[in-house]
Amino acid sequence: MPTSTSRRSWSVWGIAVAAYAVAIFQRTSLGVAAAPATERFGIGASVLSTFVVLQLVVYAAMQIPVGILVDRFGSRLLLVTGALLMAAGQTTMALAEQPGTAVLARVVVGAGDAMTFISVLRIIPAWFPARSVPVVTQLTGQVGQVGQVASTIPLAAALAGPGWTPAYLGAAAVGVLAAVAVLLAVRDRPVGTPVPTPVGWGQALADLRTSFTHPGTRLGLWSHFSTQFSGMVFALLWGYPFLTTGLGYSPGLAGSLLTVMVLAGPVIGPVLGQLTAAYPLRRSNLIFGVLIATVAIWTLVLVWPGTVPLPLLVLLLLVLAAYGPASAVGFDFARSFNPSTRLGAASGIVNMGGFTASLITIFAIGVILDWRAPTGAFDLVDFKIAFCFQYLLWAFGFVSLWVSRRLTRAGMRAEGGGAIDPLTSAIARRWRDRPRG
């Protein structure tokens, strides 16, 4: 691991994170197209949610295989492949006339998207010193969210102006540009750094099992599961209809409100990153804090009689903005308790958590909305009832987090640390001698 940060480190990271921003743009590009999609394909809410659910199913299912692949073949190859797959998916979406073709398009987008974030995370420890990794990881998540801004304002304008096909062909072109930039500028490691010996498939599977059985990895998994899905569900599909159809806001105001989540992220992310680096043994407390705050603000919004006041709605969006920074702490757990040779696989396990929770919630909300209003004439009460489904996953995540944290702390006491990275390991040795209770 490097001992200092260079200009080259930032340039490699900058291109890689730009590719991630493009992936976010492709991933969330259906969020502002809900109404045009239902009209173009003649579908209801549950079928529309299937588009995104299948996209996320593919994303989540590929996390562990992609983690193994990035450990074996490196980040650069997977970033280029992912960008080209997403471009192919958006081209298919641009030309789609039938729901089946649109579903296929979103599946291909999900496959390309699955290769991106883990690949960027894999680059960071190779180019940055250990003390900088938590902060750079947070910056990665927040800078990447620029793609969400592009999918809420410019893409919405393109759909309203030139129309469906030009809008999605433009999205495909952006994907090709991202692939070219990565190919030209990104390298897996600095010049002169020894190339690790490729891990065989048998060893890769053994490493995967070892990573998953470590409670520290599972603590990262449940951290990601618990904190990511509510914000992602809102940003990816159901937030925009909730604001426009449920609350009656104009498309422009709804798009602007969604950007609040993006703009707040760069403020929240570095703060959580600094806290994570400064207090590595208190990272789980940050996760519990974000989870409790999310449940509390949603409860206030859902029980509010009638239309939700705009200040309360803005507060909800500010809290939901923490979903990216908080879920990124899960990857810091993976890095702390896994060696670099299996970091990709461990990151894949963690990343699978939030996306699994998101796809379950997206589909469930669509089913509930269709049950409440089969004609598609949803009102605010329908949306509030549908969003109540989140409490099931919040409860499950809270319990899983609590159990994993107890097991992780027990292991750290027994092993005199049990962490891999120097920052956490040095401090964690003191954990063994803490009074129990």
118 within a domain of the structure (yes/no): yes
Which stretch of 53-62, 69-78, 138-147, 367-376 has the lowest confidence by average pLDDT?
A: 138-147
Q: What is the pLDDT of residue 435?
A: 46
Residues 353-370 have a mean pLDDT of: 88
Q: What is the dihedral of CA 295, 287, 60, 244, to 10 degrees?
A: 40
Residues 214-232 have a mean pLDDT of: 91
Residue 85, pLDDT above cutoff 80: yes
Crossing angle of the two packed helices 133-144 and 7-27, in degrees rounded to 10: 40
Number of C-alpha atoms within 13 angstroms, CB side, residue 28?
Answer: 32
Residue 42, pLDDT above cutoff 90: no
Which stretch of 43-47, 70-74, 309-313 has the lowest confidence by average pLDDT?
A: 43-47
Give dist(CA 283, CA 331) in Å, integer: 11
> Are 367 and 46 spatial neighbours (Cβ–Cβ below 8 Å)?
yes
270 within a domain of the structure (yes/no): yes
Residue 289 has which token pair?
């804090």
pLDDT-derived band of residue 420, with 50, 70 and 90 as boundaries?
A: very low
Contacts of 437 (CB under 8 A, 6+ apart): none
Give dist(CA 371, CA 326) in Å, integer: 33
279 within a domain of the structure (yes/no): yes
Task: Classify residue 109 by burial, with Cβ atoms within 10 Å: 0-12, 13-18, 19+.
Answer: buried
- To which residue do tokens 């009460």 refer? 381
Mean pLDDT score of the chain, rounded to an integer? 83
164 within a domain of the structure (yes/no): yes
72 within a domain of the structure (yes/no): yes
Identify the domain containing residue 171 by its residue range. 8-185+206-433
Residue 18's alpha-carbon distances to 190, 325, 380, in angstroms, are 19, 17, 37
Report the CATH number at residue 311.
1.20.1250.20
99 within a domain of the structure (yes/no): yes
Give dist(CA 417, CA 336) in Å, integer: 10
Q: What percentage of residues in the chain have a pLDDT greater than 90?
A: 34
pLDDT in tens, 264-295: 877 887 777 778 777 777 888 989 999 999 99
CB count in 10 Å sphere of residue 391: 13
Question: pLDDT: is 324 or 167 the higher one?
Answer: 167
CA 317 to chain centre: 16
231 within a domain of the structure (yes/no): yes
Please state the domain count of the chain. Answer: 1
1 within a domain of the structure (yes/no): no
Contacts of 122 (CB under 8 A, 6+ apart): 70, 71, 74, 75, 188, 343, 344, 347
Residue 202 has which token pair?
């048998």
pLDDT in tens, 89-145: 999 999 988 888 988 999 999 999 999 988 998 888 888 887 788 778 878 877 877
Residues 282-310 have a mean pLDDT of: 92
